[in-house]
Amino acid sequence: MQIKCVKDDVFQSRADLIVIGMYENEDIRNPFLLKADDLLTGRLNRLINVKDFKGTLGESLLFSSSAEIFSEYFLVVGLGKPDVLSYSKLQEAAGLAVQTAKKLGLSSIAMEFFGEDADNFRADETAEAIASACGIANYSFDTYKEKKPQKTITNVIIVGENIRDVRQAQKGIERAQIIVDGVSIARDLVNTPAKDMTPSHLAQAAQEVAQKSQGIIRIKLYDRKECLKKEMNAFLAVSQGSIEPPVFIHLSYKPSGRSKKLVALVGKGVTFDSGGLSLKLGNYMETMKCDMAGAAAVIGTFATLARLKPSLEIHGFIAATENMPSGNAIRPGDVVRASNKTTIEIANTDAEGRLTLADALTQAQKLKPDFVIDLATLTGACMVALGEEISGIMSNRPELAQSLLKSAQESGEQMWELPLFSNYDKLIKSEVADVKNISTVNYGGALTAGLFLQRFIKENQPWAHIDIAGPAFAEREFGSYISKGATGYGVRTLIKWLGSM
């Protein structure tokens, strides 16, 4: 998809679809809307009344164009309340335009530069929001389809009459396209069936990201033997039930100049989760190719670093494995010793992600990073608490949690803070080991999982855990621009957060 910004009259554009926005309850006598109504021979005003169109976010009106407009169709999208035009509102409106064009089989869009009259308008940020939503909405995964879908948009023009700095807007578009590339890589990795996305294949995907960076990103891969030397017994316990060999992946990026901070990103990399001997029910297993979405988010983020060039040293850690049942699989009741010497009673083999993360977090902290962030499709309990579209964040540093929450909001991803309630720590105490991998009660599972991970974080180490079990994989459409399947959740937040430091 080619996206560019021009200073012009959107009504004179020659794209297949012209798109303008309307605020909630906006007066049709507004000069801009009056002009649109005139060009549509009064149909806009009539249809607003007939359809009771208010301009709320998610609403739209579609017209066949008149002779005065050089396009096939004309679309009005709701922008919601005009007080503050947020990043997420811009994305919803732009995504709706792209989805409409795809359904109509169109290939080009001319879109009004939404929000030029808003008090908080910034050409680069607004253009980034619009362009990123267009790219994400245009995504399709058709690798396994013999007949490839043709409904993709090839050109989007963002048209504004009052743009002070087109070059600044274009910078926002260029940044958006880099972000969309990273999100798309993450989505492709998660959407790929588990038989083709084994730990070795995931490691190969990470290698390809490093190779394309032309040396800016480096990678080290550790096999089972090398992981044994590092005493990563919790991770290896999960892997022992599968015939697929585990791989520990370490990606690294260093800036050309002085580094401001050192950041470690840790992604859960269970490429398929059957539950192990604590076998999942069949319908719960159907989407478990997505259990490496945290790892995919880390790889997708690294895919952007060579072009975005943040002034940070960034490391990515992924303990990649399958969780499978076999005669060699770990058993409920077994005890393993993680690489930080903590012993873990495995009460349930389906609580495996936290075992792999225990060793990955320990390895990450050997670099003495300023921050450790882990992303994991960790608990169904987080989905019970927050639903499918919102991730849960837990952190031992309030200021770190707030900075990530702000970055999520500014990038259009939904996130909510959950507590590391220390009184629940007793729920994961074990009679035979230092800690147990599941709670003794049926409630608060997301919180006890966070408390389990905190056992592997040094006291002075700033850390945040993001449970992405809900938003990592959409079993229905999320809003206007995220289709079913992998979402690439976390990439946008991480890029925004890394860029804020």
My answer on whether 119 and 259 are in the same domain is no
The pLDDT tens digits of the residues spanning 454-474 come to: 999 999 999 999 999 999 999
**Residue 220: inside a domain:** yes
**How many degrees, rounded to 5, is the angle at CA 457 between CA 373 and CA 270?**
55
My answer on whether 153 and 229 are in the same domain is no
**Residue 306: inside a domain:** yes
Which residue among 135, 164, 193 closes a domain? 164
The pLDDT tens digits of the residues spanning 34-59 come to: 999 999 999 999 999 888 899 999 99
My answer on whether 258 and 369 are in the same domain is yes
Q: How far apart are CA 455 and CA 434, in angstroms?
A: 10
Beta bridge partners of 474: 485
My answer on whether 239 and 114 are in the same domain is no
Q: How far apart are CA 463 and CA 449, in angstroms?
A: 14
**Residue 136: inside a domain:** yes
My answer on whether 381 and 261 are in the same domain is yes
pLDDT, block means (10 residues), the chain with 501 residues: 95 96 92 94 91 92 91 96 86 96 95 87 93 96 83 91 87 97 98 98 98 97 98 98 98 93 98 98 94 98 98 98 98 98 98 98 98 98 98 98 97 97 97 97 97 98 98 94 96 97 90
My answer on whether 114 and 88 are in the same domain is yes
The total of structural domains in the chain comes to 2
Q: Is 164 among the catalytic positions? A: no
**Residue 492: inside a domain:** yes
Query: CA 284: distance to chain centroid?
Result: 22
Which one from 89, 175, 268, 354 is the annotated catalytic residue?
354
My answer on whether 148 and 208 are in the same domain is no
My answer on whether 341 and 466 are in the same domain is yes
Residue 470 belongs to a domain with what CATH number? 3.40.630.10
My answer on whether 9 and 152 are in the same domain is yes
Beta-sheet strands, E only, within 294-333: 313-323
My answer on whether 150 and 187 are in the same domain is no
Which one from 151, 230, 280, 406 is the annotated catalytic residue?
280
The parent domain of residue 149 ranges over 2-164
Q: Is 354 among the catalytic positions? A: yes
